[in-house]
Structure 1
Amino acid sequence: MPKSKRERKIHLTQTNKKDRDHKTKIINDVRDAIDAHTNVFLFSYDNMRSSKFKDVRIAFRDSKIFMGKNKLLQLAMGKSASDEYADNLRSISKLCSGSVGLLMTSRPEDEVLEYFKSFTSDDFARAGSVASRTVKVKQEDVANHPVSMIEQFRKLGLPVEVKNGKVAIMGKDEHQLCKKGQELSTEQCKALVHFGHKLATFKVEIKCRWKEGDYVEF
């Protein structure tokens, strides 16, 4: 028999009253969501953009999603057998680090797994990410832009000039915006946006599931 939910006794030290109240509310919200739903899934994500994750929130509007504040999520679930909120929640708690979140839902497990398996979206890369491929622009690519873009392109590292009334790459037929495996700068990312090259893929991966004391890793 699984043990019952533990008492909502929360120890938050070295914080002022306002912070304590806020943190206590988050912890209680997590526990309320555990009580209200059948399954708890932990997911990881890459190249997060709030505009992209909005689709996930809409798809699971009957469920509850928590992201960020991993330490509070761990406190809510418990870190050991002696303080976990319910049997085996500590198994999920130990994985709450880095870019992860929790999904509390009563949807069937296979439905949840199928949704996230097919959920990917191409997006523009952010500064500091690594280029997934080499990208080059040709004369016709820059010629499609107005001459007023010259100074902006130069600030982004493109060697351009005005030639025959059009924007042109200086002294060659093409210019390399980035190289595969290279860490991207802010300027490179802005240039990639200008020319419509999406090098990042936003995806969410389900890592494990908890259900009434039963814990499974995927």
Structure 2
Amino acid sequence: MPRSKRDKKVSLTKTDRKGLAWKQRIVDDIRFCVGKYPNIFVFQVQNMRNSLLKDLRQEWKKNSRFIFGKNRVMQIGLGRTKSEEVEPELYKLSKRLTGQVGLLFTDKSKEEVLEWAENYWAVEYARSGFVATETVTLPAGPLEDFAHSMEPHLRSLGLPTKLEKGIVTLYSDYTVCEEGKVLTPEQARILKLVGKPMAKFRLTMKCSWTKSEGFQLHVEDDVNDEEQADSAMEEEAEAEAMDDNDDDDDEEDDE
């Protein structure tokens, strides 16, 4: 029997690509914020967690705005060269938009933001690839926090467990991780199951720009602020950054 033309496989996991309109909105938002807020910071994220960044947005929304998106698009918003920059010296901020970074626009003073960033951190569970900060060992004995139905899952993660009278029991000491070694996915899951957070979510202010003082570097780097890119290369980079068919998955979850 011939196959029906209506018999087509539909992937339920397919998502729409972020197109030109989405990227243009980020550029417009950045330029609007440059005019609205007197102070701008480039911050670097350690142990990124979207939920914690969302909490910060809520906490600061009265007088600030966080924008976290594709670096090349944010660079276009600020201006990548002296000739493109929206305000004097903003191109120096643009040059520092590399890696896992974002922009903070705020009415708060530079001193207030730097002091807050120095003292702010949040403990989170480590993920695979994280370098363990301590050695964690589980002693032999009952694991009463786990239901008996969890025993097969714990065993699949490598824990030496068994059921004794319906109680999950570790029948020998088990070293989950060692200080200084990279965590595997299984080790990261075990640490989360036993309630052992190890990572710290932090924001480091790399540099800032204020309308009154201009650009200031807070973390030393090897960026050459006087270096000017070839105009043809700049045009090519801009076209690539704004390309509607770009597959980049960088997320801008600004609300």
Give your verdict on TM over 0.5. Answer: yes
Matched, 1:31 2:31: yes
Amino acid paired to 2:175: Q
The alignment partner of 2:44 has SS state of strand
The alignment partner of 2:207 has SS state of strand
Amino acid paired to 1:193: K
Gap runs ≥5 in structure 2: 1-17, 219-255
Deviation at 1:89, TM superposition (A): 0.6
- Distance in 1 (alpha carbons) for counterparts of 2:142 and 2:37: 52
- Distance in 1 (alpha carbons) for counterparts of 2:42 and 2:136: 35
Residues 42-96 of structure 1 deviation map (CA, whole Å, 9 limit, x = unaligned): 1111111122122321221021211021101111111111222211111110110
- Distance in 2 (alpha carbons) for counterparts of 1:119 and 1:141: 37
Residues 82-139 of structure 1 deviation map (CA, whole Å, 9 limit, x = unaligned): 2222111111101101111101111111221122222101110112222111111112
Deviation at 1:167, TM superposition (A): 2.6
Amino acid paired to 1:196: G
Deviation at 1:164, TM superposition (A): 5.4
- Distance in 2 (alpha carbons) for counterparts of 1:30 and 1:37: 10
Q: 1:141 to 1:125 in 2, by over 3 A?
A: farther
- Distance in 1 (alpha carbons) for counterparts of 2:133 and 2:106: 34
- Aligned residue in 2 for 1:40: 40
- Residues 123 and 202 in structure 1, CA contact (< 8 A), matched pair in contact too: yes
- Aligned residue in 1 for 2:187: 188
Count residues in correspondence.
199
Q: 1:164 to 1:139 in 2, by over 3 A?
A: farther
- Aligned residue in 1 for 2:138: 137
Higher strand share: 1
- Distance in 1 (alpha carbons) for counterparts of 2:85 and 2:145: 60
- Distance in 1 (alpha carbons) for counterparts of 2:114 and 2:178: 35
- Residues 124 and 200 in structure 1, CA contact (< 8 A), matched pair in contact too: yes
- Aligned residue in 2 for 1:106: 107
- How much is the aligned-residue C-alpha RMSD, in angstroms? 1.8
Instruction: Report percent identity of matched pairs.
Output: 32
- Distance in 1 (alpha carbons) for counterparts of 2:142 and 2:136: 12
The alignment partner of 2:143 has SS state of helix
Using the TM superposition, name which of 207-216 and 161-170 deviates more.
161-170
Amino acid paired to 1:182: K
Q: 1:188 to 1:196 in 2, by over 3 A?
A: same
Matches within 5 A, 1:149-160: 149-160=150-161
- Aligned residue in 2 for 1:85: 86
Q: 1:74 to 1:141 in 2, by over 3 A?
A: farther
Gap runs ≥5 in structure 1: 1-17
Q: 1:153 to 1:87 in 2, by over 3 A?
A: same
